[in-house]
Structure 1
Amino acid sequence: MTTHTSTPASTSTSTPVNTHSRLEPLGSDEPRFDEILTPDALTFVTRLHDQFGHRRQERLHERMASRRSVENGRDFRFLTETAPIRRDPDWRVAGAGPGLHDRRVEITGPTDRKMTINALNSGAQVWLADLEDATSPTWQNIIGGQLSLFDAIRRQIDFTSDEGKPYRLTTGELPTIVMRPRGWHLVEKHLRFTDRAGQSQAASASLVDFGLYVFHNAKALIDGGRGPYFYLPKIENHLEARLWDDIFTYSENALGLEHGTIRATVLIETISAAFEMEEILYELREHCAGLNAGRWDYIFSFIKSYRGRGPQFVFPDRDRITMTVPFMRAYTELLVATCHRRGAFAIGGMSAFIPNRRDPAVTAAALAKVSDDKRREATDGFDGTWVAHPDLIDTARAEFDRVLGGRPNQLDRLRPEVEVTAEQLLDVRSLDKRVTDAGVRANVSVATRYLESWLRGVGAAALDNLMEDAATAEISRSQLWQWIAYGTVTVEGTRITRALVEAELDALLGSVDRMPGNRYDDAAAIVRLASLSDDFPTFLTIPAYAHYLVDVPILEAVAA
């Protein structure tokens, strides 16, 4: 890949906000934020909004129409109108860019300075630098995360903890960075976009995250032998993938990059996207590296989509929804077969189990479970996988090494025997449907405790030896809503009601350590809104962000 010399990646540190930009920062002015929010960078993100903001709105309106259709009894299906794309045997995706040919272990995590350094020192092949589900979207986290990435790409990042412990990058080759921006449904209320007609609204979080990162870092990444690579979250259909592809092409032209320099890996983490995997690859084919099996959001999406379709779609305790149940097995097998047929990488998901360095028994159990999970993925044909903790890298790599040997991937392993039907993707009737009292308590606990962490600015939380993020909190609160809606009775004979969940919330709030600065009352309020209301918020993070993470002056200045 090459670049033209006109790439306008700015490193200005003190230029005032460009008055010609219609993207106005409203958040606090923290140290070095002006290095990211430069006039040229804001102008570039403004241009992205001018070009693509209306199409984003169209896609979000289409999501609402699709949800209503499913709620009214129409099941997801493979599209007849795109069947020629699926039948055409000849097209392929662009595939790996430099630094992405071996993806056997990818570590995921937020982009604060300490976690950035730890991830880049971890020994993984890839770091998923996450501005989405593992990041609490405070203004400080979002722009601070961009600063961490800016410094890390230039190998100028360091950090000293409150205890005085220094963190520095090791020498030698570092993992390839793949950045995950926030999804289409989210806004950045600390940036106000005014369109050409003079109408103001909150900026698109997706365009902000992508635009700032690619503007500042594309040239530096390419000069370092890598490229601007992205994980695309929460995509629901191939038209949303087409929108991203057009954004990539526009950005390459605007920044003087060779076409195809940008590469994307799409998370298949919605039930609707599972029916359009091939079409998503096709739309992104000149920029696409692969697909990822985003298991936790996928389960949440299924529950959310079918939550009102009858008791046959009621899901059991979360720990019973494993990767080997029929509908999850169909989903992963279809993903691997689809990817390899088109030359795309198939990347596995994240097991929630994590080690505990203070408890050898917990660590041994976690390593055994992670080993089983990664062995299944490697033998099924995945080319790599995710881990959430550095101590899991060797365990995951060992399972892929056994299958791959000296090969960087197994793209040549086709799965012609895999034929997955719509009925198999939607098969929840075969689940062990048991719901337990412990499952209710666990969902109340996870949703509330995770949100308490999220409200304090920590988006990935280790709870009960599991790594929880926004996706697992979404599963927990959506299950509570569904169980209440159908009056589900646990195996112990307890009917699940609003009053029962309220009682569990009260018991939890009475048992936690009320240290100064905790946010348990606010977290409980969000759980009540997301689980106990008649209405079902499509994402709990939308109202939580608007009510708790945005400064008061900004709430007054930017429309919800």
Structure 2
Amino acid sequence: MTDVRVVGPDVDRAGEVLTPEALAFVADLQVRFGAQRDALLAARGARRAEIAAARTIDFRPGTAAIREGDWRVPPPPPGLVDRRVEITGPTEPKMAVNALNCGADVWLADLEDANTPHWRNVVGGQVVLRDAVRRTLAVTTPEGREYRLREDGVLPTIVPRPRGWHLPERHLLVDGEPAVGALVDAGLYLFHNAAEQLARGSGPYFYLPKMEGHLEAALWKLVFDHAEQVLDLPAGSIRATMLVETIPAAFEMEEMLHALGDHATGLNAGRWDYLFSIIKTFRDAGPQFVLPDRGAVTMTAPMMRAYTEQLVAVCHRRGAMAIGGMAAAIPSRRDAEANARAVAKVREDKTREAGDGFDGSWVAHPDLVPVCREAFDAVLGDRPNQLDRQRPEVSVTPAQLLDVAGVPGGRTLAGLRSNVEVALRYLAAWLGGNGAVGIHGLMEDAATAEISRSQVWQWAHNAVELDTGDVVTAELVRRVVAEEVVAIGELPRLDDARRLFEQVALAEDFPDFLTLPAYELIK
């Protein structure tokens, strides 16, 4: 008999989603697939060591038959045929209502990077999703303002993003051990909403983050196949779009689609985690892999162009949707000039993606929905997507994907300060329970914070010389941290954020994810 226990604090309406039947379903997923997930995480470390030692990565010779084969994924399901505008955001009730009312085609209900794993967010997010699926979601603020779903019933397709394979859920114990966060998020959502979504003419759809290859996609296929059998769902009704946001995944795009099989719908260019992965994977492989300032690495850099061109070509060759990434700029309703700059940046980004053949893209704010729609309407017209647009001219090499040296830009003291400030502000917010934070006109989440701290780690361990002549050392980083803490001033949990940042940015051995030690500091 499997023992499943909830050890988190009380959360309002938890009883509606943490039912005995739902918990038994999640526990069954954990028992069946938890050990395979553990083995795959161990394999990540071995793979990273191989890549670092070789100082390069290549397409896997053992899977050449998949890349050369003639196969396609199933056609997109109802609600995912036209995805030209997708809005991302956490499952916080008010933000969820705004996202559902904004006119986007898809709401990426983020249980991952734009969220935090405080138990109130984990459980509260499932409550929000349950209400959203049934169109009953409503919020009344302490000031008495009401937020309700639009009355015409025209809402985006709901696509939650569970946590990555690496994150545990210590508030839910199965046989005394923390469950896998991804299985908790996906399992609770499927149990409560899969049949309801199908009855409404949609389906149980997901975004799957942070995978590093096709074996991890194959594990999701096993999970989905099993869930369909247990929950009596039609075979292949659970569909997923995978984020290509690690450098190993960029070399296994076709294999990942093939491994997910009849559950595959598309790939997404997860650009911010992708940069983090490049730094993490090649962090000790020499100065040729040291990136310039974070702000200098744009989507027009040659290696980023190679990555996105490859993604579109692979997707359309296999009948899968290619979804663009999130432009970090956010609009301002108080500063007209700042708003105009943000809109211009987003318009440029989305116009480029639509022209490259993407079928849709992400925005992080309701005011940017019309900007993204205009860019894709100009290319798509009345067509729902660009699946018919093949890119036979695209032939990307490993050298192009790894052309870090070809990224223009310098390594500056201002860049170091920006990394430190953004990470401190974000981590303080994250520890307080907020995973999506606007900082200096940019939307920061866990992925952008990872870039900031990993770049500091890489610069310090490679003794990078900055534009000022300063050499990045642990001492310099600590001095900058102290100065930025003073400049920030009063901010809840800033002291904890400072200690955490120094831990993950200056440790001798690189911590794979800052969210793992951060998780130990929250309830």
TM-score normalised according to structure 2 size: 0.99
Name the structure 2 match of 1:8.
none
Kindly indicate whether the alpha-carbon contact (under 8 Å) linking 2:292 and 2:408 is maintained by their aligned counterparts in 1: yes
The question of whether the paired residues in 2 share the 8 Å contact of 1:378 and 1:400 is answered with: yes
Cα shift at 1:29: 2.2
Letter in 2 for 1:27: G
Q: Give CA deviations for 1:157-213 in whole Å, capped at 9, x if unaligned.
A: 11112222111010221000001000000000101111xxxxx31110000000000
The whole-number CA distance in structure 1 between the counterparts of 2:75 and 2:211 is 19
Return the alpha-carbon distance in structure 2 between the equivalents of residues 443 and 373 of structure 1.
23
- In the alignment, which residue of structure 2 is the partner of 1:182? 163
1:372 aligns with 2:345: no
Q: Distance in 2 between matches of 1:59 and 1:74?
A: 22
TM superposition shift of 1:73:
2.2
Check whether the contact 2:111–2:125 (CA below 8 A) recurs between aligned residues: yes
Q: 1:353 aligns with which of 329, 332, 349?
A: 329
Matched, 1:51 2:32: yes
Which residue identity lines up with residue 527 of structure 1 in the other structure?
F
Q: Is the aligned partner of 1:549 residue 2:522? A: yes
Counterpart residue identity of residue 545, structure 1: Y
Distance 1:513 1:491, change over 3 A: closer
Paired residue for 1:255?
231
State the one-letter code of the partner of 2:104.
A
Instruction: State which drifts further: 495-504 or 372-381.
Output: 495-504
Amino acid at match of 2:210: K
User: Partner residue of 1:75?
Assistant: 56
Q: Secondary structure at the match of 2:267?
A: strand
* Contact kept? 2:303, 2:401, Cα under 8 Å: yes
Q: Could you tell me how far 1:360 is from its partner in structure 2?
A: 0.5
Would you say the 8 A contact 1:95–1:345 is kept in 2? no
Question: Does the 8 Å CA contact 1:21/1:39 hold for their aligned counterparts?
Answer: no
Query: Quick check: 2:12–2:124 contact (8 Å CA) kept in 1?
Result: no
Q: Could you tell me how far 1:433 is from its partner in structure 2?
A: 4.8
Q: Who is 2:192 aligned against?
A: 216
* 1:98 matches 2:98: no
Residue 471 (structure 1) aligned with residue 447 (structure 2):
yes
1:320 aligns with 2:293: no
Determine if contact 2:11/2:123 at 8 Å carries over to the other structure: no
State the alpha-carbon separation in 2 of the partners of residues 71 and 396 from structure 1: 38
Secondary structure of the equivalent of 1:179?
strand
Equivalent residue letter for 1:454:
W
Residue aligning to 1:36: 17
Matched with 1:138 is 118
The answer as to whether partners of 1:530 and 1:540 remain within 8 angstroms in 2 is yes
C-alpha distance in 2 between matches for 1:52 and 1:192:
15
For 1:286 and 1:333, how far apart are their aligned partners in 2?
Answer: 24
Give me the whole-angstrom Cα distance separating, in 2, the residues matched to 1:222 and 1:513. 50
> Take 1:359 and 1:69, find their aligned partners in 2: how far apart are those partners?
49
State yes or no: 1:301 paired with 2:308.
Answer: no
Between stretches 52-61 and 428-437, larger displacement belongs to 428-437
Report SS of the residue matched to 2:54. coil
Structural mapping, 1:111-510, within 5 Å? 111-171=91-151, 172-194=153-175, 200-510=176-486
Q: Which amino acid aligns with 2:265?
A: A
Deviation at 1:432, TM superposition (A): 2.1
Write out the 4+ residue segments of structure 1 that deviate beyond 3 Å after TM superposition: none
Q: Secondary structure at the match of 2:207?
A: strand
Cα-to-partner distance string for 1:86-105 (whole Å, 9 max, x where unaligned): 1112x110131111100000
More displaced, 373-382 or 163-172? 163-172
Aligned residues: 522
Task: Answer with 178-187 or 46-55: which moved more.
Answer: 46-55
Displacement of 1:378 after TM fit?
0.2
- Aligned residue for 2:506? 532
Deviation at 1:500, TM superposition (A): 1.4
1:298 maps to a residue whose letter is: Y
Contact 1:440 1:480 in 2 (8 A): yes
The one-letter code matched in structure 2 to 1:104 is R
TM-score where L is the length of structure 1: 0.92
CA distance in 1: counterparts of 2:95 and 2:72, whole angstroms: 36
* Offset of residue 532 of structure 1: 1.2
Distance, in Å, in 1 between the alignment partners of 2:60 and 2:459 is: 32
Equivalent position SS for 1:549: coil
Give distance in 2, aligned partners of 1:422 and 1:379.
Answer: 24
| Matched AA of 1:535 | D
Q: Distance in 2 between matches of 1:126 and 1:176?
A: 5
Question: Over the residues paired in the alignment, what is the CA RMSD in angstroms?
Answer: 1.0
Higher mean alpha-carbon deviation, 455-464 vs 47-56, is at 47-56
Write the letter of the residue equivalent to 2:119.
Answer: W
| Greater displacement, 65-74 / 219-228 | 65-74
Aligned-pair distance for 1:30? 2.1
Rounded to whole Å, the distance in 2 between the matches of 1:362 and 1:505 is 27
Contact 2:55 2:285 in 1 (8 A): no
CA shift, 1:486, in A, is 1.2
Q: Cα 1:32–1:21, aligned 2, differ >3 Å: closer, same or farther?
A: farther
1:42-80 deviation per Cα after TM superposition (whole angstroms, max 9, x unaligned): 110111011111110110110011111122225221111
Does residue 88 of the first structure (1) align with residue 56 of the second (2)?
no
CA distance in 2 between counterparts of 1:508 and 1:475 reads: 18
Could you tell me which amino acid in structure 1 is paired with residue 140 of structure 2?
T
Rounded Cα–Cα distance in structure 1 between residues aligned with 2:24 and 2:126: 17
**Offset of 1:501 from its aligned partner?**
1.3
